[in-house]
Amino acid sequence: MDRKLNLNRAETFSFVNPWIRYFLFFFSFLFWVFSLLIVAIGVYAKVQKATDTVRDTFLIDPAVILIVVGVVMFFITFCGCIGALRENIRLLKTFSFSLTLVFLTQLAIAILGFFYSDQTRDALGKFVKKAIVHYRDDLDLQNLMDYIQKEFKCCGWNNYTDWSWNLYFNCTHENPSSERCAVPYSCCTPVPGEAVINTMCGFGAQTQNYLEANKSIYPVGCADRAVMWIESHLLLVGALALGLALPQIAGIVLSQILISQIQDEITSVL
Ligand SMILES: *[C@@H]1O[C@H](CO)[C@@H](O)[C@H](O)[C@H]1NC(C)=O
Ligand SMILES: *[C@@H]1O[C@H](CO)[C@@H](O)[C@H](O)[C@H]1NC(C)=O
Q: Along the 270 residues of the chain, how does pLDDT read in single tens digits?
A: 455 555 555 455 789 999 999 999 999 999 999 999 999 999 998 888 766 666 666 667 888 899 999 999 999 999 999 999 999 999 999 999 999 999 999 999 999 998 999 999 999 999 899 999 999 988 888 999 999 999 999 999 999 999 999 999 999 999 999 999 999 999 999 888 777 777 788 999 999 999 999 989 999 999 999 999 999 999 999 999 999 999 999 999 999 999 999 999 999 887
Q: What is the pTM of this model?
A: 0.79
Collect all residues with Cβ–Cβ distance below 8 Å to 98 and sequence separation of at least 6: 75, 76, 79
CB 156 within 8 A of CB 184: no
Q: Which atom of ligand 1 is nearest to the CA of 213?
A: 13
Partners of 194 in the beta sheet? none
Of all protein residues, the one whose alpha carbon is nearest to atom 10 of ligand 1 is 159
Q: Roughly how many angstroms between the first and final C-alpha of the chain, as a whole number?
A: 14
Residues with CB under 6 A from ligand 1: 158-159, 161, 209-210
In angstroms, rounded to a whole number, what is the distance separating the alpha carbons of residues 266 and 260? 10
Q: How far apart are CA 192 and CA 94, in angstroms?
A: 58
CA distance 52 to 164: 23
